Structure 1
Amino acid sequence: MERKAYNRIDLLRAALILMVILVHIVHFGTLYPRVREVIFMFFMPTFLMLTGYLTNVRKPTRQFALYELRILLPYCILVTGYACLSTVMPVRDGLAELTPATLLRTLCVTSIGPYWFLHRMMVCALLYWLAFRLEERAGTLAAFFLLVSLATAVSLFTPLLPAGNAFYYILGVAIRLFHGDLLRLFRPSAWAWIPFFMLALWADHSRWGDIATLAYSACFLCGMGAVEGVLSPRLYGWAGYLGRNTFPVYLFHPIFTMAGKFLLPAFAFDPSGLLHTLFILLTGTLGSLLIAWAMDRTRLSWLFARPRILR
């Protein structure tokens, strides 16, 4: 993939990771529930599609195992920490009590907070890798249909992978395999924002299975391509850096969204809640990058099986 294409994908990832932080700011969700619903409707399906598109499983077993390990270790560490904190702090999906059984179920099945996405990444990537062991003997199409079959079976008979999550991940895989260029498929167009906002105003935002969710994602991908053309070079560079480092921001932003609840009295003068939201967005982004930088400097990044966290 050309550098320019990577830059555009980094811009998409930067926008999506800011939305991840935004929807986990509880005060914002309380004040603007409709906006939160709209964002939830398209941003995680789009993230899953991008993840499926970017994931490469045509690699030796050792390299793939390292890929999974580099997600699994931070996942286990941070889910355990989040679960412990949720028993004493007001969290939407927190645990009522912490026992070995509930912690094991949280790690292996249900996950908690925003970390469910990492769980789905690992499950989908494993199925993808297993299916494509068949590729050399039976061809790409056969391996792809085996992936669809495995994902369907896991979705139907286990709680590990909701069908909607599997669909958008596999859609990204299909684009990679059979089209090859996601950015040519979703061409830049400012006109895409018109149906996007129409859907935001009138669509039902409760189900990922609706065609509206797919339309949302497509409109967002096309519309963001148009946004690229109006950004200054400096802002585009910053967005690219953030897009390359969505992983540490995803890992560490809950520290700041949870702590942000204690800062609400300091922003009582702003009834809109937007200043508080902007402050948490900035501190969540910069603070997460700072934690990753500190881990790199102190070599604690090896806790996540990585020589470096920042890219």
Structure 2
Amino acid sequence: MNSRVKELDFLKCIFIILMIIFHLVYIGDSYPYAKQVVYTFHMSAFLVISGYLNNVNKKIKAFGQSLLWIFIPYVCMETGYVIMSAILPVREKVTELSAGLLLHKAIIAPMGPYWYLHTLMLCNASYYLMYRMTNKWKGITRFILLGILLYGLSELKLLTFANAIYFLAGVAIRQSGNNIIRIFQPSLLALFPLIILCYFPENLNRGTLAGVTITYLVISLLLATYTYLTEQIKRILLYIGSNTLVILLFSPVFTILSKLYLPLFAFDATGICFTIVSVVFVICGCFGVTYIFDRLHISPYFLGKKQMLPPYSSAD
């Protein structure tokens, strides 16, 4: 693909904002049912998009480099997160630090939002390996073999197969030659079946057919709302959506720091004011760190890019 798909950047923006909101402990505790609803679809949709955008036609060196520049920031931030969890009073508390624990968290069971990058690397590597090794086979055969490989990794407890299914869905759309926007038909009417499905708690599981349907309906609804946005709002959202990786990497630092000013919002029992301020704080904080990395020329060694925070352009 030679150009960005603006609708996908919009979706990524909405999903990363939802991730930030429900990683704020106060909001997650105040609205547990809403958190359960969001957790049913937001990272699932990310995996669908990732599977769709993945390119297996790269040469092995280029693919290896792309994987490396996910692995390096992943290991750095996951290690930092584990250490931080041992020092600070957080929910995912680590009681005893050791080299073995750090290795286990980085390779087997990552903490925090970094499980997504862990799953993405395994899915990307499996996809590339399977499609390059079986290039004499066509169509559904390779797709089935990829599914079997990912299922095997889930049996080894390296990933959750329910998550891998969404990546597989994105791969299936890409391999079929269809445009993902045509698969997820935009419709405001998607709101009504979405409300009905989300009303029943047993449907709030991404690993079920109901969870898959909820993910589809949310994407359909969001794509329908995209056309009603002003160009100015679109530019802001698209810029955020095109830089979700750095937000994913650095957001845990700022969601933890947001606890420091939580008492200032004691006047608002709903938490809405705290949420709005925190989302802006986290995103600006992530972009601020990225800007510093760019200015100090750390970015080429951290993410393999001369500039991690480029201006948004319709050209990829």
User: Which bin holds the TM-score, normalised by the shorter protein?
Assistant: over 0.9
Matched residue, 2:314:
none
Task: Kindly indicate whether the alpha-carbon contact (under 8 Å) linking 2:293 and 2:299 is maintained by their aligned counterparts in 1.
Answer: yes
Matched residue, 1:97:
96
Matched residue, 2:73:
74
Matched residue, 2:294:
296
Question: Could you give the per-residue CA deviations for residues 56-98 of structure 1, whole angstroms, max 9, x where no partner exists?
Answer: 1211110011111111000011111111110122222231111
Question: Could you give the per-residue CA deviations for residues 134-190 of structure 1, whole angstroms, max 9, x where no partner exists?
Answer: 34322243322221121111112x110111011111111011101421100111111
Matched residue, 2:238:
240
In structure 2, C-alpha distance between the alignment counterparts of 1:290 and 1:219, rounded to whole Å? 34
In structure 2, C-alpha distance between the alignment counterparts of 1:205 and 1:103, rounded to whole Å? 35
Instruction: Indicate which of 158, 161, 177 corresponds to 2:159.
Output: 161
Matched residue, 2:39:
40
Matched residue, 1:150:
149
| TM-score (ref. length: structure 2) | 0.94
In structure 2, C-alpha distance between the alignment counterparts of 1:303 and 1:201, rounded to whole Å? 47
Q: 1:14 to 1:50 in 2, by over 3 A?
A: same
In structure 1, C-alpha distance between the alignment counterparts of 2:43 and 2:128, rounded to whole Å? 22
In structure 2, C-alpha distance between the alignment counterparts of 1:191 and 1:103, rounded to whole Å? 47
In structure 1, C-alpha distance between the alignment counterparts of 2:109 and 2:235, rounded to whole Å? 37
Task: Kindly indicate whether the alpha-carbon contact (under 8 Å) linking 2:78 and 2:110 is maintained by their aligned counterparts in 1.
Answer: yes
In structure 2, C-alpha distance between the alignment counterparts of 1:252 and 1:2, rounded to whole Å? 28
Matched residue, 1:212:
210
Aligned: 1:263 with 2:268: no
Q: Kindly, what percent of the aligned residue pairs are identical?
A: 32
Task: Kindly indicate whether the alpha-carbon contact (under 8 Å) linking 2:250 and 2:286 is maintained by their aligned counterparts in 1.
Answer: yes
Structure 1: 5+ residue runs without aligned partners?
none
SS in 1 for 2:213: helix
How many residue pairs align between the two structures?
Answer: 309
In structure 2, C-alpha distance between the alignment counterparts of 1:106 and 1:256, rounded to whole Å? 21
In structure 1, C-alpha distance between the alignment counterparts of 2:104 and 2:134, rounded to whole Å? 34
Question: Could you give the per-residue CA deviations for residues 84-113 of structure 1, whole angstroms, max 9, x where no partner exists?
Answer: 110122222231111111111000010011
Matched residue, 1:20:
19
CA displacement at 1:261 relative to structure 2 = 1.2
Task: Kindly indicate whether the alpha-carbon contact (under 8 Å) linking 1:37 and 1:205 is maintained by their aligned counterparts in 2.
Answer: no
Task: Kindly indicate whether the alpha-carbon contact (under 8 Å) linking 1:135 and 1:142 is maintained by their aligned counterparts in 2.
Answer: no
Q: 1:270 to 1:171 in 2, by over 3 A?
A: same
Task: Kindly indicate whether the alpha-carbon contact (under 8 Å) linking 1:25 and 1:257 is maintained by their aligned counterparts in 2.
Answer: yes
**RMSD after superposition:** 1.5
* Pairing of 1:124-135 with structure 2 (within 5 A): 124-135=123-134
| TM-score (ref. length: structure 1) | 0.95
User: Comparing 30-39 with 147-156, which one deviates more in the overlay?
Assistant: 147-156
Question: Could you give the per-residue CA deviations for residues 32-67 of structure 1, whole angstroms, max 9, x where no partner exists?
Answer: 111111100111111111111111121111001111
In structure 2, C-alpha distance between the alignment counterparts of 1:126 and 1:267, rounded to whole Å? 45
Task: Kindly indicate whether the alpha-carbon contact (under 8 Å) linking 1:38 and 1:205 is maintained by their aligned counterparts in 2.
Answer: no
Matched residue, 1:106:
105
In structure 1, C-alpha distance between the alignment counterparts of 2:189 and 2:287, rounded to whole Å? 34
